[in-house]
């Protein structure tokens, strides 16, 4: 979950590395560091804390050279400290590496090296790798690295440089993302395309087991186990540099909330034809194949899991095929009942979520077809899945996901409608009416965002509260889970979401005078039931904010405040209802003065188990 960047070329490397790390800091920000091949040897600077601390050091002690590697860390082995920061070097200072991932057998390697007199300066698993490289070095960095990775167990991407071979940068990928950027007389490595986007849009996406050697004007990729040369497709990235800049917004999260109308338009673009039919050529599942599917699983983590809960409701109600939603980190460990009559849908914004990749692979091993909903073309999940539905949300920089979530919701709606259309479980009139509702969503989100400031007053009122509770029924409960997660992620206020009907089964004990309760009441069929639960909370002293659809003014009799969203079909209400919840989280964190884009202890892409 750390960020790696590397450069080899003719330009001064320090500003390139620091700027690249600034684009990767969302992946981890416990510490940062760079290593540069200077004329006299390897120079290393690193610092605990945010990138600004490293930048301060470099202003007084700059590094000069044209080859280097950089790293921003999310701590796994060893707490945040200068010593545990990357890059790590061997005892002689001749080799330096950066690493993203976890080495599971590092203690065995450390014990073996310690027996040879190697001393360790950090608590990290990474340091074992660089000492092993130094121990096995045979005069050829690439062959040495290939021998080293045969001894490693776990997930890792690596960038390696040495003063013994100052004309090359070696990169490795094994179950952890890494791309190579191709320039003119210069080349790059990075954990994420955003780090190098201003320099090049041409990238190779490394696959597991790849070992790449970069020089000024050449990139060679071989398989680590055999040394056999491999060809990787050169991808042209269609993201613009502006997409990874904040522009006029104070934070990336606010920018990305406001980008949601465009994201929704992009995700549906080309997928609805003139006859109001869903067109998904990337999912070639004919009726006879869909008829064989007895069950679907939706497997994901975090926000993507919450999107899956909405997806379950949409697919089941539109197709009547049973759907189970599971947390990816639990899925493969419970011996899931998966067969060739099962469709597994995995969801991941980055396409690199380690637990979700493992669930994908386990499902395919058991004979299931896997459909991926992801935002990153060329990611591991996109490459390994049988079918891919891209969300087209563009780069999402803030750790707390917003536009990627609503794009995932829309992808599920399109998918459910496509399955229903193929299986003919909807009549043409109903299907066309639903698709008309889908097409209205971007404009309806724009209307909500035009009144974004209206949510500030409630955010101000909860900033000092100890706990906040979200309640809802049906689809509203799924949205409540995501709303609660957003609030706790960036405000650090304790927050929980409950199925509203469960309040009386224990949770009401937590409600006291003044406790904030946010009640989502957009599901018309469950309106009266949820209002009854609101009154239960009010009777215990709760202060209730209701979120409902335009026209439901009777809710005002049961709540203290209300927020209204545009009227839509109940299947699509989550896409609208979550927007004021995202704004509530944002403005609460803003009122508390928190670092909104980089909340403590979290990282954007969880690429370790």
Q: Active-site residues: which are they?
A: 2, 604
Which class for 235: exposed (0-12), middle (13-18), buried (19 or more C-beta within 10 A)?
middle
What lies within 8 Å, CB to CB, of 202 at 6+ separation is 181, 182, 183, 234, 235, 236, 237
Strand duo 219-223 + 202-205: pairing: unpaired
| DSSP-based three-state secondary structure for 72 | strand
- Beta bridge pairs of residue 47: 32
Considering only CA atoms, which of 473, 528, 536 is closest in space to residue 505? 536
Structure-token pair, residue 414: 């399109």
> Sheet holding 88-89: strands in order across?
88-89, 95-103, 154-162, 169-174, 210-214, 219-223
Buried b (16+ CB within 10 A) or exposed e, 11-24: ebbbebbbbbbbbb
Let me know: does 251 contact 257? Beta carbons within 8 Å: no
**How many other C-beta atoms can be found within 10 angstroms of the C-beta atom of residue 168?**
18
**How many other C-beta atoms can be found within 10 angstroms of the C-beta atom of residue 317?**
15
Distance between CA 585 and CA 405 in Å, rounded? 15
What lies within 8 Å, CB to CB, of 492 at 6+ separation is 592, 594, 599, 600
Distance between CA 50 and CA 72 in Å, rounded? 9
Let me know: does 578 contact 568? Beta carbons within 8 Å: no
Considering only CA atoms, which of 184, 185, 178, 144 is closest in space to residue 161? 144
Q: H-helix or E-strand containing 90?
A: none
């Amino acid at each position: 979950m750390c960020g790696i960047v590397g450069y080899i070329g003719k330009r001064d490397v320090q500003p390139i590395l620091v700027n690249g790390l600034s684009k990767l800091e969302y992946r981890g920000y416990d510490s940062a560091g760079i290593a540069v091949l200077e004329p006299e040897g390897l120079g290393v600077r690193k610092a605990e804390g945010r990138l600004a601390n490293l930048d301060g050091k470099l202003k007084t002690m700059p590094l000069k050279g044209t080859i280097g590697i950089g790293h921003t860390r999310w701590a796994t082995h060893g707490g945040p400290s200068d010593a545990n920061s990357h890059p790590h070097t061997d005892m002689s200072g001749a080799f330096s590496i950066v690493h993203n991932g976890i080495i599971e057998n590092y203690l065995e390697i450390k014990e073996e090296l310690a027996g040879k007199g190697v001393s360790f300066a950090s608590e990290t698993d990474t340091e074992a790798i660089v000492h092993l490289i130094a121990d096995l070095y045979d005069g050829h960095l690439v062959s040495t690295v290939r021998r080293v990775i045969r001894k490693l167990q776990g997930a890792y991407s690596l960038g390696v440089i040495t003063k013994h071979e100052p004309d090359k940068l070696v990169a490795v990928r094994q179950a952890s993302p890494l791309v190579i950027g191709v320039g003119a007389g210069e080349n790059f490595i990075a954990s994420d395309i955003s780090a190098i986007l201003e320099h090049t849009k041409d990238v190779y996406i490394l696959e597991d087991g790849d070992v790449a050697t970069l020089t000024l004007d050449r990139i060679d990729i071989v398989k680590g186990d055999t040394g056999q040369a491999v060809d990787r497709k050169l991808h042209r990235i269609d993201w613009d540099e502006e997409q990874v800049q904040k522009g006029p917004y104070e934070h990336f999260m606010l920018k990305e909330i406001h980008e949601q109308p465009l994201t929704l338009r992009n995700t549906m673009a080309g997928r609805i034809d003139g006859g109001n039919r869903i067109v998904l050529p990337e999912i070639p599942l004919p009726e006879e194949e869909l008829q064989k599917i007895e069950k679907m699983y939706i497997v994901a983590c975090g926000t993507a899991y919450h999107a899956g809960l909405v997806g379950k409701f949409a697919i089941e109600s539109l197709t009547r095929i049973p759907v189970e939603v599971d947390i990816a980190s639990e899925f493969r460990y419970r011996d899931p009942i998966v067969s060739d009559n099962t469709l597994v849908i995995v969801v991941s914004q980055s396409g690199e979520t380690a637990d979700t990749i493992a669930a994908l692979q386990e499902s395919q091993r058991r004979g299931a077809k896997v459909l991926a909903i992801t935002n990153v073309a060329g990611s591991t999940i996109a490459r390994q899945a049988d079918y891919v539905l891209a969300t087209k949300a563009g780069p999402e920089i803030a750790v707390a996901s917003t536009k990627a979530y609503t794009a995932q919701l829309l992808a599920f709606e399109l998918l459910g409608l496509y399955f229903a259309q193929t299986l003919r479980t909807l009549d043409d009139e109903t299907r066309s009416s639903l698709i008309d509702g889908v097409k209205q969503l971007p404009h309806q989100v724009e209307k909500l965002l035009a009144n974004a400031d209206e949510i500030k007053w409630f955010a101000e009122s909860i900033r000092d509260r100890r706990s906040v509770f979200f309640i809802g029924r049906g689809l509203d409960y799924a949205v409540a889970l995501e709303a609660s997660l957003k609030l706790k992620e960036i405000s650090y206020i304790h927050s929980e979401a409950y199925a509203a009907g469960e309040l009386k089964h224990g949770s009401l004990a937590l409600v006291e005078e003044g406790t904030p309760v946010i009640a989502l009441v957009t599901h018309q069929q469950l309106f009266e039931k949820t209002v009854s639960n609101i009154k239960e909370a009010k009777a215990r002293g709760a202060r209730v904010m209701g979120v409902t659809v335009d026209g439901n003014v009777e809710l005002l009799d049961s709540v203290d405040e209300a927020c209204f969203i545009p009227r839509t079909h109940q299947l699509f209400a989550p896409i609208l209802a979550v927007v004021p919840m995202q704004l509530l989280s944002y403005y609460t964190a803003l009122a508390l003065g928190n670092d909104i884009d980089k909340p403590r202890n979290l990282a954007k892409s969880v690429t370790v188990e």
